[in-house]
Structure 1
């Protein structure tokens, strides 16, 4: 029997897949949006609709992840998602067509779901099977690193390349990420036993507990998506802050890169739900800060850091917690949970873009996002003060 790869190598494959499918295929749209608006006919509302197409694709990917249990099929879909990330990034450069861009953003959303849900589920299953600690903080650092990469790449290319040339250059970068993401993730083992011979068993929580968790994640999705889509545009809309939008996006990525690792450590001390409540509260503060009168550069950067340091922590804690209940097929419940996150993301970008065009400001959308996040915080607090179901058999506490 061949020796299994080191867990660091497996996690590195996952990091590369997230940088490709989210950092390149998804998040590069945010710093490129104002450039596309300046060089093409794209406006606030149409820019919001393109983000909505992306989230529709992401939700369809979550539906697929939630509907299949076969690990080998999931592995195939994960690898298709890696290819889609490259194809859809390159496809954004081939013409100024809202329909073309919409189709590319839709399939980029499918790619993001493959990387974030199916890929993360495969890695979590591998960690459980080989008796490693059930934490995905290091893996999810790929999201923050992807944001950093997209921000730096767009900032460096903006002076020399047009919007379409930048999409093609990002495709070239993505190809370098594709190789380890594809080659270093082992093919899954469908055996119901761990490497030590212990049987893996699912331990689902009560239905009422799950409903509250799903509802809180719905609220988190709404709070996340406004800033994820429009942060650069919001900063650039302030006359005193013009030219700092991409820097704000870079700060988001820098804060997000170590965030999941840090939230893992916080959760070890406080429990996952109390850590989630703290992350919700900090994200609400980050959403509200840009709406303050006479917003300074320091305040905007602090807001970006709060946002980057919390949104991915919420995702990591939620998905890992859900996956622990279903170690034999973690991607399936992760996909179901993400449907609640994705539903809110479909309507929010289009609504925010339309409100911005109508009223000339994104403040209303930010207030709405903060209010919905506050509802999510209340639901998490309720969950935290209920008895949390046991999700960790003895083999899951290893590592």
Structure 2
């Protein structure tokens, strides 16, 4: 009897491929499925009649989906299931982006935003956990800085996409559909270069070193404050600029500046963290973000708006990458699960903040109150970081 050919071994990926695939996954699941909403919001309000309150609620629903995904990810132990759900999130991101441009229907938009939140959780938590776990198994330094470039690149893609399609006078609906087709370019490498999961035997040799409950609570509260600061800017940056009479039409440029600042910032914050430690680097990032939030509240000029956008882009990426990398390194047995648990506070803030701010803006006709409240929440986060730094000095 002839010998049957043995099945080919799975092709080994190069670390560059895994990181590039993770970046493309973030661009697709977060940059397009989520961030495209920000530069398209003024156009949707002008052409589809979307109100400030409805815009805030849609953002809140998106983050409700994100929080639902974080809850699910926090309970997942099976690495293969996490891999399958991440793969599903990649494909679903294209469909929900396409659905946003199907009709000016608030219920369709709400469903799309909720599913988009689930996709964002798949990319940010499951995908990041898979990339980090793969790097750790390969003996590579487990840093997510390069991976999180996908967040800044996603913003750049969404900003350039709106600027380019607006020059063609495409409607809000056609622009959403254009983003869906552009997403195919990111789906292909994200799918082909998905990191493999560890076999059960290999996974069991990783020691389960878990942070203390008190440390996780403090970090979770700090990350709640970071989520509040993130979502206000992520939702309303373009709208804040467009509402100022002298800055009409400049909103996409502010959003592009956010992305351009975010892409290289991951390297800068990594260097700061190496020199001073992650917690002190986070404290600096929070302080700079407070300044960025208050600049457009204190002055209505273009310089203040662009300065706020620049500081936001340069800081939010550092807060996310430093926090998730820190908790992931302290939970090597299942970094994605640890990230998801910490993200619950981040997601809770992202559900409440845009809904409250949208109603407030519609009632007052100004973003100033929402910006001052955001600065106060970020300062609370700074207080929590000072407490964490003090506690670690005592250890």
Superposition TM-score, scaled by structure 2 size: 0.95
For structure 1, which runs of at least 5 residues remain unmatched after alignment?
391-399
Task: Give the one of 14, 21, 31 matched to 2:29.
Answer: 21
Task: Give the one of 60, 66, 79 matched to 2:74.
Answer: 66
Shift of residue 199 of structure 1?
Answer: 3.4
Task: Give the one of 90, 94, 109 matched to 2:117.
Answer: 109
Task: Give the one of 356, 366, 369 matched to 1:364.
Answer: 369
Q: Judging changes above 3 Å, is the alpha-carbon distance between structure 1 residues 233 and 174 closer, same or farther for their aligned structure 2 residues? A: same
Once the two structures are superposed, the pairs formed by residues 196-345 of structure 1 within 5 Å of their partners are 199-293=205-299, 295-345=300-350
Q: Judging changes above 3 Å, is the alpha-carbon distance between structure 1 residues 19 and 388 closer, same or farther for their aligned structure 2 residues? A: farther
Task: Give the one of 143, 158, 162 matched to 1:135.
Answer: 143
CA distance in 1, matches of 2:393, 2:224: 20
Check the 8 A contact 2:211/2:331 in 1, yes or no: no
Structure 1 residues 134-190: Cα deviation after superposition (integer angstroms, max 9, x where no partner): 110000000000000000000110132111101111001101100110111132113
Once the two structures are superposed, the pairs formed by residues 142-221 of structure 1 within 5 Å of their partners are 142-160=150-168, 161-191=170-200, 193=202, 199-221=205-227
Task: Give the one of 44, 51, 55 matched to 1:47.
Answer: 55
SS of alignment partner, residue 328 of structure 1:
coil
Check the 8 A contact 2:228/2:377 in 1, yes or no: yes
Q: Judging changes above 3 Å, is the alpha-carbon distance between structure 1 residues 336 and 269 closer, same or farther for their aligned structure 2 residues? A: same
SS of alignment partner, residue 249 of structure 2:
coil
Check the 8 A contact 1:137/1:262 in 2, yes or no: no
Shift of residue 80 of structure 1?
Answer: 0.6
Check the 8 A contact 2:28/2:154 in 1, yes or no: yes
Structure 1 residues 274-303: Cα deviation after superposition (integer angstroms, max 9, x where no partner): 11111111111110110013x321221111
1:374 aligns with 2:382: no
SS of alignment partner, residue 108 of structure 1:
helix
CA distance in 2, matches of 1:147, 1:91: 20
Superposition TM-score, scaled by structure 1 size: 0.94
Matched positions, count: 386
Check the 8 A contact 2:21/2:190 in 1, yes or no: yes
Shift of residue 4 of structure 1?
Answer: 2.9
CA distance in 2, matches of 1:377, 1:168: 41
Match of 1:122 in 2: 130
Match of 1:355 in 2: 360
Structure 1 residues 54-110: Cα deviation after superposition (integer angstroms, max 9, x where no partner): 000000010111010111000000001001100100001111110000000000000
Q: Judging changes above 3 Å, is the alpha-carbon distance between structure 1 residues 388 and 215 closer, same or farther for their aligned structure 2 residues? A: farther
CA distance in 2, matches of 1:372, 1:63: 23
Q: Judging changes above 3 Å, is the alpha-carbon distance between structure 1 residues 72 and 165 closer, same or farther for their aligned structure 2 residues? A: same
Shift of residue 388 of structure 1?
Answer: 7.0
CA distance in 1, matches of 2:289, 2:47: 33
SS of alignment partner, residue 140 of structure 2:
coil
CA distance in 2, matches of 1:71, 1:60: 19
Check the 8 A contact 1:192/1:200 in 2, yes or no: no
